[in-house]
Amino acid sequence: MQPAAERAPANPPGPAARAPALGTIPPNGSRVTATVRQRVVWPPGSLAGTRPPVRPDRTWYSLTLDIVSAAPAAPTLESLARPGAVIDVFSSEPLAAELVGRTIAALVELTGTTQGTRWVISEITPNQ
């Protein structure tokens, strides 16, 4: 009787050799009403190493928002913001400290990839 020839397995055990595909966040935009809980000023370079990357030579501003309501910003866009969620939103434009504790209306968009995301805010209107 002859020994059988050894063959490499068709599917070698262990982790896959390839990393998962890099996915991007689909086009989105949400018109939200939210209560501003906190404001933070990020000096140049303080967000280095975060994803998605930001320009390191800029001051960045963020607000922590408690989302009250959210709707698509346009008929062709998905609204990824959800009522009841608490999110941090960023802007390279100064955000006033007086917004803390107030309810605002704004446009928010989730940007980035499967490696990291960031909410961006614009068109802020404080409610009276």
Nearest residue to 22 (alpha-carbon basis) of 58, 2, 52, 47: 52
| pLDDT score for 7 | 44
Model pTM? 0.81
| In the chain, where the domains are located | 30-126
18-57 tens-digit pLDDT:
555 678 899 999 999 999 999 999 999 999 999 999 999 9
112-127 tens-digit pLDDT:
998 999 999 999 999 8
> Residue 14 pLDDT more than 80?
no
Q: Which fold has domain 30-126?
A: OB fold (Dihydrolipoamide Acetyltransferase, E2P) (2.40.50)
Mean pLDDT of 94-109: 98
